Structure 1
Amino acid sequence: MADAAAAPGGGAVLSETMFADVKTTLNLFGIHRREVRGDWSYPPHQHPQYEINFLLAGSQIMTVGGRELVQSPGDLLLIRPGELHSSRSGDGLPFDYFCLHFDLDDRLFLPLLGRLDQTLFRAESELARKASPVLRKMLEPGQGGGPSSVAARMRLQAAAFELFAMLWDAITAESLLLPRASYAKEELAQEIASRLQGAASLNFRHARGPGAGGASAAKGGEGEEDEAEGDGPGGLRRIAAELGISASHCGRVFREVYGQSPRAYWSSLVLHESKQLLADSRHSIQMISSVLGYRDIAHFSRQFKRWTGLSPSAYRRLHLHSSDSGGTD
């Protein structure tokens, strides 16, 4: 993982803008386009990922959580994890649809996505109109190696991120309809999360710097997630002071919006960084535990196993085996 190069001295830099680090794992599952007869149906089922179902032609009735939703061409349906759903023709005639399931390692995007009141976006809605060309781009045949090639998978991921940006815009637009007090909480929680991300990024960058011998990156991640905040992970008291609120109010608002404590969110940032480091076999597990601020490798191993159910070495072996076999996107 490369860090930004230090700006040269001597006044050579006229202006500079630093952008946030991007560390996101995206998994796309069961991507398919299916044209079916009018008597075809899919029985009730559920899965642990989000599903996007986009109707290309015909009429489809999707029953979600006991509620019948009739899709017309161009309609986009978002199905939440764990929701029981089934599908059949809406008029007894053939229909054609595109479907994908996704899991995104983003602890802010998914909780807010789950709070969207609207899940069926009609073809004339702003989201469906913008998403339609992106979804149709996913349907284009692969080039230079077919739909399973690396290039094809990269194009799918690029299109998926473009689609998620549109969903984020939809979440933001819906938040604007909330009462002012509720919207203010959303804004405050997002600012707290942004500052926690910035503190984590700074800690990890300093910890990887020359001569670093273990930083405070993991501070606050070693206790239970619902433990009293104290000084808090990522300098939560400092963040609260900068925002002019108490640390307890800071934690209360964050939990209300994201459904988890700032400590739990900080732990997820540390976990994500540890996965990134373990994915690179050049880094020893001893070095990783030091970079993340753990007092010894045994402590890091216990914490990582509590988070994932795997030891760091087992996770590394699994990741390297998956990479060698071409992955399962």
Structure 2
Amino acid sequence: MTNRAAAALKSRAFPNLKSEVYLYGMHTGVTGKGWLCQRHLHHMMVEVNLVLSGTQTAIMDHAVYEQQAGDLLIIPPMKPHRYKSDRQEPLQYFVMHVQVSDTAFMQLMNNCEQLHYPKGDPLNEKLRPIIMQLIEQLQEDDSHSHIGLFANALLMMSLLERHMKTQQSDSPHYSEETLPPLIAREIEKLITFRHSDSEDRFETREPLHNWLAQIAEKLLISRRHCYRVFQQAYRMSPRDYLAVLRQQEAMHSLVNSDDSLEQIAYRIGFENVQSFIRQFSKWTGMTPGSFRRSERDSLHYLTPLELKLEQ
């Protein structure tokens, strides 16, 4: 052992550390021409999307990516996105969502500028073998231990973190107690608090009015400042975020529950079911009933609010 190494081993107390990792919605899919994945986002989760064969089109804000076989997409938290496939050949893909209870990492990912890593890109060449090993581990269906699975997921996040730090050395850093994540949580509560209410009281629940002003008042800031810091951090307005959450929760409830349209409309803040039906038709081009019949059990990409880790 060198003198330098020996010196580094002098008595020193290190902090106790705890971290949680949540892997959600891991699946492979095979689709044909005309496949469409509706616009959605993931609450404080990183999406890893790898095309195994064929081609898919990813749309994020005004950016469009043609994802070929072997191409990788890394989608930050709170980033609205959608997919489609217009090609004749089948599309096969793997997708997973990762949340870690490391706020610094999640906020680092929020500032991610590069999303598309084509085959041959240095980061792609590092991550793709790990993802392929993850797929093999998932297919083995080993119910005794998931340590190897989580080890690979954390290795992937570690490589991502190292890459993002080199790319974003001058980017602003947000600590755990800064306003943007607090505002996001308060917006999410506008929907999640309704899940715990008695369903037979949904007719009497007040609709969503002046909600941003109420959030700002709760956080002891002005409404204007509340809007500005959220927009700056997540590149979307608080109202846009709430709209995506309402659409996403509606789609998730329609295909994963037998709740009535009235119950779903109430939970996401509509005053009546007619308003909900009109808005849902604008979102998806389908009525809620048609969507429920055609998409039942097929929407694996949505992240339910009630399943996300506590921050």
CA separation of 1:167 and 1:279: change in aligned 2, threshold 3 A: farther
CA separation of 1:246 and 1:197: change in aligned 2, threshold 3 A: same
CA offset at residue 102 of structure 1? 4.2
CA separation of 1:278 and 1:239: change in aligned 2, threshold 3 A: same
CA offset at residue 295 of structure 1? 2.5
Counterpart AA for 2:233: V
> Is the contact made by 1:294 and 1:300 (CA closer than 8 Å) also made in structure 2?
yes
> Is the contact made by 1:116 and 1:174 (CA closer than 8 Å) also made in structure 2?
no
Counterpart AA for 1:47: T
Measured against aligned partners, the alpha-carbon deviations of 1:253-280 in whole angstroms (never above 9, x if no partner) come to 2222322210111111122221222124
Structure 2 Cα separation of the partners of residues 212 and 247 of structure 1: 28
- The structure with more radius of gyration: 1
Structure 1 Cα separation of the partners of residues 59 and 284 of structure 2: 18
CA separation of 1:193 and 1:172: change in aligned 2, threshold 3 A: farther
Residue 190 of structure 1 is aligned with which of 171, 174, 181? Answer: 181
CA offset at residue 175 of structure 1? 9.0
Percent sequence identity over aligned pairs: 21
> Is the contact made by 1:251 and 1:262 (CA closer than 8 Å) also made in structure 2?
yes
> Is the contact made by 1:255 and 1:262 (CA closer than 8 Å) also made in structure 2?
yes
Partner of 1:320: 296
Structure 2 Cα separation of the partners of residues 291 and 32 of structure 1: 35
Alignment of 1:250-265 (within 5 A): 250-265=226-241
CA offset at residue 24 of structure 1? 7.1
Measured against aligned partners, the alpha-carbon deviations of 1:269-308 in whole angstroms (never above 9, x if no partner) come to 1222212221245222233223334232211100111112
Count of aligned pairs between the two proteins: 225
Counterpart AA for 2:58: P
TM (normalized to structure 1)? 0.49
Residue 296 of structure 1 is aligned with which of 272, 284, 304? Answer: 272
TM (normalized to structure 2)? 0.51
Alignment of 1:1-329 (within 5 A): 28-29=28-29, 47-48=57-58, 78=73, 100=93, 102=95, 112=110, 115-116=113-114, 119=117, 120-122=121-123, 128=126, 132-139=129-136, 142-143=139-140, 169=161, 173=165, 177-179=169-171, 182-184=172-174, 187-206=178-197, 208-209=198-199, 211-216=201-206, 219=208, 231-232=210-211, 236-280=212-256, 282-320=258-296, 322=298
Structure 2 Cα separation of the partners of residues 24 and 140 of structure 1: 15
CA separation of 1:200 and 1:305: change in aligned 2, threshold 3 A: same
Measured against aligned partners, the alpha-carbon deviations of 1:120-144 in whole angstroms (never above 9, x if no partner) come to 44599xxx47x85454131359458
Q: What root-mean-square deviation, in Å, do the aligned CA atoms of Structure 1 and Structure 2 show? A: 5.3
Structure 2 Cα separation of the partners of residues 296 and 79 of structure 1: 38
> Is the contact made by 2:255 and 2:295 (CA closer than 8 Å) also made in structure 1?
yes
> Is the contact made by 2:112 and 2:164 (CA closer than 8 Å) also made in structure 1?
no
Measured against aligned partners, the alpha-carbon deviations of 1:120-175 in whole angstroms (never above 9, x if no partner) come to 44599xxx47x85454131359458xxxxxx9xxxxx9999768865875687569
SS at match of 1:139: helix
* Larger fraction in helix: 2
CA separation of 1:141 and 1:243: change in aligned 2, threshold 3 A: closer
Where structure 2 has 5 or more consecutive residues not aligned to the other structure, the ranges are 1-21, 31-49, 76-80, 83-91, 100-105, 144-148, 302-311
Counterpart AA for 2:135: M
Structure 2 Cα separation of the partners of residues 303 and 23 of structure 1: 32
Structure 2 Cα separation of the partners of residues 294 and 311 of structure 1: 15
Structure 2 Cα separation of the partners of residues 290 and 305 of structure 1: 17
Structure with more contact order per residue of length (Cα contacts < 8 Å, sep ≥ 6): 2
Measured against aligned partners, the alpha-carbon deviations of 1:87-145 in whole angstroms (never above 9, x if no partner) come to xxxxxxxxxxxx946487x9x99x93752489544599xxx47x85454131359458x
CA offset at residue 310 of structure 1? 1.2
SS at match of 1:241: helix
CA separation of 1:117 and 1:123: change in aligned 2, threshold 3 A: closer
Counterpart AA for 1:194: R
Q: Which moved more, 1:243-252 or 1:280-289?
A: 280-289
Structure 2 Cα separation of the partners of residues 310 and 160 of structure 1: 40
Where structure 1 has 5 or more consecutive residues not aligned to the other structure, the ranges are 1-21, 35-41, 51-63, 66-74, 83-98, 145-150, 152-156, 221-230
> Is the contact made by 1:185 and 1:257 (CA closer than 8 Å) also made in structure 2?
no
CA separation of 1:300 and 1:27: change in aligned 2, threshold 3 A: farther
